[in-house]
Amino acid sequence: MCASPLSWRRLLPGVALLYTVVFFISQLSGVPMAIAAPLHALTVYGEAPKYPADFKHFDYVDPYAPKGGSLSRASEEIGQYNYLTPYVDQGISVSQIDAWVYAPLAYRSLDEPYTVYGLVAEKLERDPNNLWVRFYLNPNARFDDGTPITAQDVRYTYQTLITQGSFSYRPLYGDVKDVVIEAPGQIRFDFKNNLNRTLALDLASMRVLPEHWWKTRDFTKGGGFEPPLGSGPYRVSRVDAGRSVSFERVKHWWAKDLPVSRGLYNFDTLTVNFYGDVDVARQLVQAGSFDYNREFSSSGYVVGYTAPTLQDGRLQKNILARQRPVAGQGFVFNLDKPVFQDRRVREALAMLWDFEWVNGQIMRNFYVREESYFPKSEMAARELPDAQELKILEPLRGKIPDEVFTQVWQAPKTDGSGYIRDKQLKALKLLADAGWHARNNRLVNAAGEPLTFTFLDGQGGFERLVLPYKRVLAQIGITLNFRRVDSAQYMNRLNARDYDMIVVSLPNNGNPILSPGRELYNLFGSQSARQVGSSNAMVLRDPAVDALIDGLVAANSRNDMLHYARALDRVLLWGFYMIPNYYSQGTPVVYANRFGKPAVEPIFDVGLESWWQVSAVPLTNAQMAARQAPQVSVQSGALSSAKMQGR
C-alpha cells in the first residue's frame, strides 16, 4: 500500500534528523558525504560539465539555422555495403545509421573530451562510489512508429549488443553485473566493481533499439537491407542495395526542441553513396554528382582536384577540425607469425620504412610522422616519464623494454634522399642478433628459411607506400609481397587473423580516442587477441599491457588516466608492434559551396550535422559572401524580421 500524504509528513522530521546525523558524522570523520542525484550530464571523473543544466544549445551550432534542403556525401568505406545496421561484424555497414536513425540515452558533446548530456534519458544518476548508473527516460521519447521508448527497450538493447552484436561490446560493457528495471521509464545498471570510470558514460552513449521491431528480425545479420525502425532525427527513406542509402528528416521528431538537438540535423534529406574506388568518388564530386567527400589521400587532395569550379569557389577544399586529436595508424605485425615474434626483427623492419622519402616524393609533404598511439593528444608520451609515471612502470621492470625508463621513443629519421644505407646496416645487425644471416643474397634463419612476408591490402591505395618499402627490404635480402584483395575477402582474413602485415587505424572507426576506457582491451588486451570482430589486429598478448590498461580504466582522475595512458603509449611504442604511419593537420574535405556553417567549429569533430543549406546549387565565393552577409547579424544576436518569421 502507498503511504498517505499525512504519513509522509510524519516521516519527514525523521528523514531530516537522519540526514543531519550523517552530515555531522561525515564532518567529524573528515570524509565528505556524497549523495547521488539526477543530473543533466555526466563526466568521466565527476568534474563539472561545460554546459549547465539550463543551457539552450551547444556553442558549435547556430540555433537559428534554417531547416530544409539536402546533402549527399561519399561513404568513408571503400566498397559496397552488404547490410545496413552497424552493430555486428558482417562486413561493410552504413555507419551513419548509428548517428542519424537511432537516438542515444545521452548525447556526447563535440567540444569536450568525454561528456554526455541527457537525450532519451532526460536525467542521469551515478553512484558516488561508481557502482551503478540510473537513467530516467524522457516520457516524450518515441520510436518512429509512435511507440514509447521504455526501460525494457534499453535492457533489450544492452542484452542484444553483448550477445549478438560486435565483439567490441563485450569488453566495453564487460563490468556490468546486472540490469534492473525500476519502472517503465527508469532503469539501473549495476557494476561488478567501481574500477571502470567510463562505464557509466559508455552505457549512456548506447543507442536504444526497439525490441518490438527487432525481435522478429535477425540482428546477427544487421537486418539486411530493410530500413530499420529508429528513434533519431532521420529515417531511412531509400535503399539501393550496396550502392547508396537515403535518409529523410523526421519533421516532428520528439527531441527536435531539446538543447542537445537545437541547431543540429538541418537537412531534409541526406544521402550516403558507396564507391569501390576513391578515384571514382573524386571525379564524381568534381562533376557535381554529390556534395561532400572526406579525402584520405594527400596527393588526391593536393593534385587530384582540377575542376574549374575550384577556381571560382563553387567547389571548396578545406582542412577542418585542426584541433582534433587523430586516431593512430600504422602497418601492424601479426604477432602470431613466428617471423615477427622477436622484437629485434620488428625493430629492424620498422627502421626501414623511409617516411621522409615517401612523404616528400609521394605525399607532397602533406603529413606529419606519428610517434604515438595517441597522436596530437595529451596522452602521447613525448617526454621522459615523471615520478608519477615511474611509479606505475616500476612494478613492470623486467617485463617491458628497458628503454621505456630512459628514452623517449622517436621514429627513425632520414634525409629524404631515398638512400638509407645507415639504417640498413643497423637493421642487418639487429637481424643477425635475431638469427638471420645472408646467404645467396637472401636473409635466412638457421633452418635455411628465407625472411619473407606479405602485406595484405583490402582498401586500395597503399601500393605507392609499400612498394618503395619493398625495394629497400629487397636490397638487404628480405622479400615483401604485396597482395590486394576485395573487401569481403579482406574482412574474412582479418577475422581469421590470416595475414602477415596490414594497415590499421586505432580504433578501426577512425575516430580518435579522447578519454580512453575499456575499448583499449579491444585494441590491445590479451582477451581480444583471437576474438572474431575484435580490433586487436596485432594479436597482442602481453600481461604488462593488460596491467596498464587495468590501471587506466580504474583511474580516479583525468590526471591519473593521463599518466597510465602515457605509460601504455611508451610500452606499445618500444614493443615495436607496428610501424607508425602519419597524420594530417586536420580533416581534409572537398564539398560543394552551397552550405552554411556555424561561426564556432567543434573541437573534436568536423560538425557536419550542424551545417545547413544556403543554396540549391553551388555558389561562387562572391555569391556565397553576398548570401551570408545578412546572417552576420544573426550570429551577433540581432535577428532580422525575415529570420524571425522563418523560424
* pTM, entire model: 0.77
Could you tell me the pLDDT band of residue 85, with boundaries at 50, 70 and 90?
A: very high
Residue 630's pLDDT is 60
Percent of the chain with pLDDT over 70: 92
Report DSSP letters for 263-293, one per residue.
T----SEEEEEEES-HHHHHHHHHTTSSSEE
In single-letter form, the type of residue at position 138 comes to N
For the chain, what's the residue count? 647
Residue 9, pLDDT above cutoff 60: no
> What is the mean pLDDT of the segment spanning 472-485?
95
* pLDDT at site 230: 96
Percent of the chain scored above 90 by pLDDT?
72
SS3 137: strand
Q: What is the pLDDT of residue 167?
A: 84
**Across 482-501, average pLDDT:** 91
Bridge-based pairing of strands 452-457 and 612-613 is unpaired
Question: What are the pLDDT digits (tens) for 321-357?
Answer: 888 888 899 999 999 999 999 999 999 999 999 999 9
pLDDT of residue 22: 41
Least confident of 17-31, 60-74, 364-378, 469-483: 17-31
**Structural element, H or E, at residue 564:** helix 558-574
Q: HSE, CB side, 13 Å, CA atoms: give it for residue 183.
A: 8
| Of 4 and 286, more confident | 286
Question: What is the rounded CA–CA span in Å between residue 124 and residue 146?
Answer: 24
Residue 462: which pLDDT band, with cuts at 50, 70 and 90?
confident
Q: Residue 348 — φ and ψ, nearest 5°?
A: -65, -45
Please give the helix or strand (H or E) that residue 571 lies within, else none. Answer: helix 558-574
Q: What is the mean pLDDT of residues 431-459?
A: 94
User: What does the pLDDT average to over 134-145?
Assistant: 97
Are 88 and 221 in contact by the 8 Å Cβ rule? The answer is yes
Neighbours of 274 (CB within 10 A): 20
Task: Please check the confidence at residue 26 and state whether its pLDDT lies above 90.
Answer: no
- The 10s digit of each residue's pLDDT in 179-224 is 999 999 999 999 999 888 889 999 999 999 999 999 999 998 888 8
3-class DSSP state for residue 21? helix
Most confident option among 89-93, 170-174, 373-377, 568-572: 568-572
What are the residue ranges of helices labelled H in 91-150?
96-100
State the pLDDT confidence band at 298, using cuts at 50, 70 and 90.
confident
Range with the poorest average pLDDT among 37-51, 343-357, 525-539, 624-638: 624-638
Confidence of residue 304 (pLDDT cuts 50, 70, 90): confident
Mean pLDDT of all residues in 540-564: 93
**Least confident among 31-45, 182-196, 282-296, 519-533:** 31-45
* Angle (CA) 128 134 138, round 5°: 135
Q: Which of 10-24, 88-102, 176-190, 486-500 has the highest mean pLDDT?
A: 176-190
One-letter identity of residue 541: R
pLDDT for 383:
95
- Taking the C-alpha atoms of residue 379 and residue 371, their distance in angstroms, rounded to an integer, is 12
Kindly tell me if the per-residue pLDDT of 577 is higher than 50. yes
Look up cell 583511474; give the residue: 555
**pLDDT reading at 509 higher than 80:** no
Grid cell of 55 as nine digits? 543551457
**CA–CA separation, 622 vs 98, rounded Å?**
37
